[in-house]
Amino acid sequence: GRVKESGEKHKGSVEIPNLSEENEVNDTEINVSKRKGEGDVLKELMRTEGTIKVRAALRDYLKALKTEFTLGMLLPTKATAGQELAAEQKLSGNTMQDSVSPQSLDIVGVKIPTVKILLREIFNSPADKFYSIFTTKELVQKFSKYPAVIEAEKGGKLQMFDGCVSGEYEELVPSQRIVLKWRCRNWPYEHYATVALNFKDMAPQTELQLECNGVPVSSEDSTRQCWKKQYFEGIHILLQQSKDNVE
């Protein structure tokens, strides 16, 4: 920093020894130090106003980490992918979750092992209105809390969660079915899964039957959590808010 009165520059350091998502940011310890001499006014400024700005940046950082982890940002190298395939093949059918099909394990695209994910969820909305949540830009942005690109037509582009998820629409049957070419940003280059969203009308509710083919094995858990936390929970909240507004 620079002292306004004298114009002198001084260097110091900021140390954050206990940053963790388990701790409140306001409880995070922030240590400020500098060499002895003039410029202590800068040190004091960093301890007061500077600490406020540092904590604000830490909140944004932790929020970004949680979002990117949930959306499958941590992926294996090409070397570890082969090791994970070998380990996965040693698993017996009895040790795998019911929602994962052992036969779906495959080598596609850039020679990575993949898996199929099956999910079901019931939403308090008729099928026609529920279908629009996946095809209307304004509604997508409301439940995702991020700007989105939604071109709901065959071949139309899809981008959500600040670019962490992208793809395109491959099939649209109003109130019944949507098929997406879908990927997380840090999946291997140009590798896409195929996501089929089938809407079962159970008026006044809708059962969503999701089938996601081609998910990298290493990203199975994070992809499952992406749909449950980022999509399903967000949509449930949106529907509840809409219901409250009507009442």
* Average pLDDT taken over every residue of the chain: 82
Query: 209 and 139 in one domain?
Result: yes
pLDDT digits (tens, 9 = 90+) for 135-192: 999 999 999 999 999 999 999 999 999 999 999 999 999 999 999 999 999 899 899 9
Q: Is the pLDDT of residue 92 over 50?
A: no
Asked if 226 and 145 sit in the same domain, the reply is: yes
| Shared-domain flag, residues 156 and 229 | yes
pLDDT of amino acid 62:
75
Higher pLDDT, 48 or 3: 48
HSE toward the beta carbon, residue 206, CA cutoff 13 A = 23
* pLDDT (average), residues 187-215: 96
- Identify the pLDDT of residue 101: 47
The answer as to whether 95 is a domain residue is no
Residues contacting residue 145 through CB under 8 Å, at least 6 positions apart: 234
Asked whether residue 51 carries a pLDDT value surpassing 80, the answer given is yes
**Is residue 187 situated within a structural domain?**
yes
Give yes or no: residues 63 and 137 share one domain: no
Query: Any idea what the Cα angle at residue 145 is, between residues 139 and 149, rounded to 5°?
Result: 60
User: What band does 10 get if pLDDT is binned at 50, 70 and 90?
Assistant: confident
- Residue 177: inside a domain, yes or no? yes
User: What does pTM read for this prediction?
Assistant: 0.58
More confident residue, 186 or 237: 237
Q: Which domain holds residue 234?
A: 114-245
Does one domain contain both 66 and 120? no
* pLDDT confidence bin for 71, thresholds 50/70/90: low
Question: For position 189, which CATH number holds?
Answer: 3.30.530.20
* Domain total in the chain: 2
